């Protein structure tokens, strides 16, 4: 007979924060899986290329608006009412949106980026640009790619980095608040 079935022994309390972190992790992994599943084929020309460019631009703008909205919410929210999971999801969405945009540019004109031939290359480049590491093995060469990367860098430094910084700060604050009662005992 288990401890939970014995009279007088209650079930362990449900931890909503742990469930929320699990939920966020699953959504972030699904965003990355979706990124890998979006069909983008190289060598497209004409109207298909234009439509793909417009859809990519609209997608990046929508993701940017979502990230900005979440950052604004986090900044104005009371620290006890912070939903960091939404911010984490939108940050992952922002990185994958830029990776997809870079890949669309690369596939539309292979001369725009050097060594960007796969989705992993594009994600690697987007994360490298976000973190300002930029190893140089994958880089923008054409004018369109350089213009897109300039937008990505400004967005990365101004928005994604701010969001990531805020995310870490809020997580630290939450951990400190949770640890404080146990230190008082």
Q: What is the pLDDT of residues 97-120, one digit of tens each?
A: 899 999 999 988 899 999 999 999
**pLDDT of amino acid 125:** 96
The pLDDT score that the predictor gives to residue 113 is 96
pTM here is 0.72
Distance CA 153, CA 139 (A): 13
Long-range contacts of 21-27 (CB under 8 A, 24+ apart): 21/85, 23/85, 24/85, 24/88, 24/89, 27/89
Instruction: Write down the pLDDT at residue 1.
Output: 46
Q: Could you give the CA distance from residue 182 to residue 175 in angstroms, rounded to a whole number? A: 11
Q: Is the pLDDT assigned to residue 12 strictly greater than 70?
A: no
Mean pLDDT throughout 71-90? 69
- What percent of the chain is predicted at pLDDT more than 90? 26
Residue 79: which pLDDT band, with cuts at 50, 70 and 90?
A: low
pLDDT score for 132: 80
* pLDDT, average across residues 26-51: 84
Statement: residue 6 has pLDDT above 70 = no
pLDDT at 123: 96
pLDDT confidence band for 2 (50 / 70 / 90): very low
Average pLDDT value for the chain: 80
Identify the band that residue 3 occupies on the pLDDT scale cut at 50, 70 and 90.
very low
Mean pLDDT of 87-102: 86
pLDDT for residue 88: 78
Q: What is the helix (H) or strand (E) element at residue 46, kind and residue range?
A: helix 46-76
For 12-31, what is the mean pLDDT?
81
Sequence-ordered list of residues with C-beta below 8 angstroms from that of 85, at least 6 positions apart, any chain: 20, 21, 23, 24
pLDDT reading at 78 higher than 50: yes
């Amino acid at each position: 007979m288990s401890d939970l079935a014995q009279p007088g022994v209650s079930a362990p309390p449900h931890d909503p924060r742990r469930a929320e972190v699990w939920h966020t992790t699953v959504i972030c992994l699904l965003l990355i899986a979706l990124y890998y599943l979006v069909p983008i084929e190289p060598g497209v020309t004409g109207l298909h290329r234009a439509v793909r460019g417009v859809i990519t631009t609209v997608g990046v703008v929508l993701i940017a608006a979502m990230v900005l909205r979440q950052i604004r919410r986090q900044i104005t929210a009371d620290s006890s009412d912070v939903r960091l999971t939404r911010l984490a999801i939108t940050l992952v969405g922002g990185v994958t949106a830029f990776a997809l945009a870079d890949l669309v540019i690369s596939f539309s004109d292979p001369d725009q980026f050097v060594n960007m031939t796969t989705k992993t290359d594009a994600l690697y480049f987007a994360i490298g640009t976000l973190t300002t590491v930029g190893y140089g093995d994958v880089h923008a060469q054409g004018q369109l790619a350089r213009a897109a990367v300039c937008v990505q860098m400004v967005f990365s430094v101004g928005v994604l980095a701010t969001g990531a910084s805020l995310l870490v700060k809020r997580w630290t604050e939450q951990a400190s608040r949770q640890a404080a009662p146990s230190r008082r005992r």
